[in-house]
Amino acid sequence: MRTVIAGTGFYVPDRVVTNEELTRYMDTSDEWIVERSGIRERRWVDEGMSGADMARRASLMALEEAGLEPGAVEAIVLATLSPDHFFPGTGVFLQKELGLPGIPALDVRTQCTGFLYGMSVADAWIRTGQHKTVLLVGVEIHSTGLDLTTRGRDISVLFGDGAGAVVLTADDDGERGILSTHLHADGRYAEVLWAEFASSKHHPRITRELMDEGRHYPRMQGKEVFKHAIVRMPEAVQEALTANGLTVADLDLLIPHQANLRITQMVQRRLGLSEDQVVSNIDRYGNTTAATIPIALAESVRGGRLERGNLLCLVAFGSGFTWGSALVRW
């Protein structure tokens, strides 16, 4: 029994925010952003749009592609670092929107690697026969939590909003499906990319003074993250290939987490892949964290970049640090 990706879907908000628009809020430039990250524009939600709304739209697209009604979903796994509320998780709000009371809804909190952690759990549920059909979603609303002053420019120019979803189903044809998933974390680096406040370690969880200092905004030591990402991502791809007795020569398509075009290019070169074997859409969406991989996957399917029998690798690295990979026979 294998887990197959039966449908893919994505949703990004209509509002396009160009680099030029960001220059109106902070001291930055289109040139700096494009040169350092490859990002040209990103999407931001309009007031009132929730993560659950975006997740529902992406999920319905994935269900349609799979030829399934929402009622076929037996479990929801939702990855996000920007939940609609401190609790409960966005997964149950998505469940409510889809009208699926009673089934389990699990939120995953492993940031940029959240979609792959979620895939690993869903794959285990399916292979052990616990659930036949799992809806897996990555969704992020960054725009409401960014420091749009010059103080926050190193981070705020990078992130965007969006959602991506896949429908995972059981299949016993023996060829297709998820071959393996490989997950890692190293909490020694937890504070290298994090949002320190609001924090339940403190009473109150946030104060006006802390907000004035911008301590509720995400903070990142960018170079440190970069340095680890370009080592861990190729490593995780190799790990997945080796575990299946395969090599880079067998790989048809790599979908890396979209954090920075320079990271993607370095991963591509380190693995000896050609440019057209590695998916990049960061120029249009920026970094949508848990949503980058499923959005890129849904676009790859629609762009005809995957054919039955292709070997696909998904790989991510990010806050935690967390990183991982998944190998899929399409």
Instruction: Indicate which residues carry an active-site annotation.
Output: 112, 257, 287
The residue behind tokens 């190799």 is 238
What phi and psi values does residue 125 have, to the nearest 5 degrees? -60, -45
Helix count (H) and strand count (E) of the chain? 11, 13
Continuous segment of H or E residues that includes residue 296: helix 292-302
Alpha-carbon span 144 to 147, nearest angstrom: 9
Residue type, 68: L
* Choices 75-83, 131-139, 150-158, 243-251; region in contact with ligand UT7 by CB under 6 A: 150-158
Q: Which is nearer to ligand UT7, 3 or 28 (CB)?
A: 28
Listed residue (74, 257, 98, 254) closest to 167, CA to CA: 74
Q: Which of 62, 92, 157, 267 forms a contact with ligand UT7 (CB under 6 A)? A: 157
* Choices 7-15, 149-157, 264-272, 277-285; region in contact with ligand UT7 by CB under 6 A: 149-157
Residues 92 to 121 in contact with ligand UT7, rule: CB under 6 A: 112
What is the sign, positive or negative, of the torsion defined by CA atoms of 231, 41, 319, 239?
negative
Residue 78 sits in the site that holds ligand UT7 (CB under 6 A): no
Residues touching ligand UT7, count (CB under 6 A) = 21
- Letters for 301-330 (x = contact with ligand UT7 by CB under 6 A, - = none) are -----------------xx-----------
Residues 4 to 63 in contact with ligand UT7, rule: CB under 6 A: 28, 32-33, 36-37
Q: Which is nearer to ligand UT7, 114 or 177 (CB)?
A: 114
Q: Which is nearer to ligand UT7, 157 or 327 (CB)?
A: 157
Q: In what order do the strands lie in the sheet with 311-318?
A: 177-185, 322-329, 311-318, 253-256
Q: Which is nearer to ligand UT7, 154 or 196 (CB)?
A: 154
Helices 292-302 and 114-127: angle between axes, nearest 10 degrees: 70
Helices 51-66 and 292-302: angle between axes, nearest 10 degrees: 40
Residues 203 to 262 in contact with ligand UT7, rule: CB under 6 A: 222-223, 225-226, 229, 259-260
Least distance to ligand UT7 from the beta carbon of 317, Å?
Answer: 7
Least distance to ligand UT7 from the beta carbon of 226, Å?
Answer: 4
Listed residue (81, 43, 44, 75) closest to 59, CA to CA: 75
Residue 287 sits in the site that holds ligand UT7 (CB under 6 A): yes
C-beta nearest to ligand UT7: residue = 222
* Burial label, 11 (beta-carbon count in 10 A; 0-12, 13-18, 19+): buried
Continuous segment of H or E residues that includes residue 218: none
Counting every residue, how long is the chain?
330
Q: Which is nearer to ligand UT7, 60 or 220 (CB)?
A: 220
Least distance to ligand UT7 from the beta carbon of 276, Å?
Answer: 23
The helix/strand/coil state of 323 is strand
Least distance to ligand UT7 from the beta carbon of 258, Å?
Answer: 8
Alpha-carbon span 325 to 261, nearest angstrom: 18
Q: Which is nearer to ligand UT7, 147 or 299 (CB)?
A: 147
* Choices 8-16, 132-140, 153-161, 277-285; region in contact with ligand UT7 by CB under 6 A: 153-161
Q: How many other C-beta atoms are found inside a 10 Å radius of the C-beta of residue 307?
A: 9
What residue ranges bind ligand UT7 (CB under 6 A)? Answer: 28, 32-33, 36-37, 112, 153-154, 157, 222-223, 225-226, 229, 259-260, 263, 287, 289, 318-319
